[in-house]
Structure 1
Amino acid sequence: MKFVAFERAKQGTGASRRLRITGKTPGIVYGGSGEPQMIELDHNALWHAIKKEAFHSTVLDMELNGQTSKVLLRNVQMHPFKQLVLHIDFQRVDANTKLHMKVPLHFTGAEESQAVKLESCVLNHVISELEVSCLPGDLPEFIGVDLSGLKKGLSLHVNDIKLPKGVTVVTHGKENPVVVSVVMVAGAEEAAPEEAAAPAATADAAAAPAAAKAPAAAAKAPAAKK
């Protein structure tokens, strides 16, 4: 994705407030070999951009003073209740330096899995994004996760996910965390004992009339002659 930024000459709370009144959003770009630089962006264009997933998880092309550089979105400060971006931060990207970035997970195949289709289970998404380490050129927009192989009693872990080439997961010391867990529906758990009890109840009901007839037959039988 590409966006256009402009140099921002004035700083401070008052200057930023006046900038927002004119439909602009103050920001900063830092990192790399250059000094931090104050910038401003068109608010309407920025508002539509931040609604796109790729704007948050991919390397962006920033055009500034006629030159294009690679940056990553690092922080967005929103107004507490207005649809207003108050401030935005970008980090310059070096093509030869690995970066850490959170990448969203796109799940597919849940409805085709045995757990959902045949075993009345639901899938609980424990993690919706992964922090990865890679070169900027290898950074994926998202990571696809296939859930079609899940069964009752199984869970999907980080090590089960097929990662794009050059991408490694950063787990911060956690060993193979759970991404998706399979949960049995409460109603399905109760149905199994009830179904098992039904044949036994039917057998008892069939035996009861037979037992009741036995004493009656004995009473009607004639007494044995001496």
Structure 2
Amino acid sequence: MAGEIPDLIAQERTGTGKGAARQARRDGMVPGVVYGGEQDPLPIAIEFNGLLKRLKDGRFKSTLFNLKVDGHDDVRVICRDVQRDVVKDLPVHLDLMRLRRTTKINLFIPVEFVGEDSAPGIKKGGVLTVVRPEVELLVTAGDIPEKIVVDVSGMNIGDTATISMVDLPQGAKPTIDRDFVIANIQAPSGLASQDDDEEKDPEDVEVIEGAAERGDED
């Protein structure tokens, strides 16, 4: 089931060219173009502060948006490029691409962990360590999963959860071609230190003591 796709609000630009782009920036907007989808390119402008916040939040280029422009039907888009000022590193232009429902795209999908209350390793004091809170998947634009679920209820201390253990949505596949780790259960620090002490060889201690005694005799 597809998750909720965030809206990206824009307005259509009435003019094109460098002059119109500079005017948009003076008005506190970032000019851009929407292309693809067998339609004519659409010049747009997006509110600067809102765009800057989304860029700082991360994953902007790998997030599918529902583009809303007055006078036009909503359309799903993904960012293909953000041009920045070479000195200030602030956005000055962006390119958005329209997507069909059957288009395959790479997106980062959040991971939800369930079964922590019943996991034997956690009951023993172990700690669930999340290696990947998001997983990049190749998905269909019309069927984007809201999340993937990892069940850790059977995991003990030292166990790992890998991508091969996850039931992925139909049609989705990882972009990494190996069985990578998503999370593991580690021993608590106190227990780990105790185990290290128990692994020391008593004979090593005796040798050191013996060497000290021989030093006293000299």
Matched, 1:27 2:7: no
SS at match of 2:31: strand
Superposed displacement of residue 62, structure 1: 3.0
Q: How does 1:157-196 map to 2 (within 5 A)?
A: 157-164=162-169, 166-172=170-176, 174-192=177-195
Aligned-pair identity in percent equals: 25
Count of paired positions: 193
> Which residue of structure 2 lines up, in the alignment, with residue 137 of structure 1?
142
Aligned partners of 2:126 and 2:185 also within 8 Å: no
Residues 174-211 of structure 1 show CA distances to partners (whole Å, capped at 9, x for unaligned) of 222222233344432221365799xx9xxxxxxxxxxx
Structure 2 residue 130 is the aligned partner of structure 1 residue 87: no
What is the correspondence of 1:79-158 to structure 2 with a 5 Å cutoff?
A: 85-95=91-101, 97-109=102-114, 111-112=116-117, 113-125=119-131, 127-158=132-163
1:156 CA displacement: 0.9
**TM-score scaled by length of structure 1:** 0.64
The alignment's C-alpha RMSD in Å is 3.8
**Whole-Å separation in 2 of the counterparts to 1:79 and 1:107:** 38
Change (3 A) 1:143 1:68: same
Tell me, yes or no, if the aligned pair for 2:150 and 2:166 is still in contact at 8 Å: yes
Q: Give the conservation status (yes or no) of the 8 Å contact 2:7–2:65.
A: no
Report how far residue 115 of structure 1 moved: 2.8
How do 1:6-85 residues align onto structure 2 when only pairs under 5 Å count?
Answer: 6-8=11-13, 9-12=15-18, 16-46=21-51, 57-63=63-69, 65-76=71-82, 85=91
Where 2:178 maps in the other structure, the secondary structure is coil
Is the 2:81–2:96 Cα contact (8 Å) retained in structure 1?
yes
Letter in 1 for 2:172: T
Select the structure of larger CA radius of gyration: 1
Task: Give 3-state SS (helix, strand or coil) of 1:192's partner.
Answer: helix
User: Unaligned regions of 5+ residues in structure 1, if any?
Assistant: 201-226
- Does the CA-based 8 Å contact 1:57-1:142 persist in structure 2? no
**Residue pair 2:9, 2:69 contacting (<8 A) in 1 also:** yes
How big is the shift at 1:157? Answer: 1.0
Runs of 4+ residues over 6 Å off in structure 1 = 52-55, 78-83
1:124–1:131 Cα change, 3 Å: closer
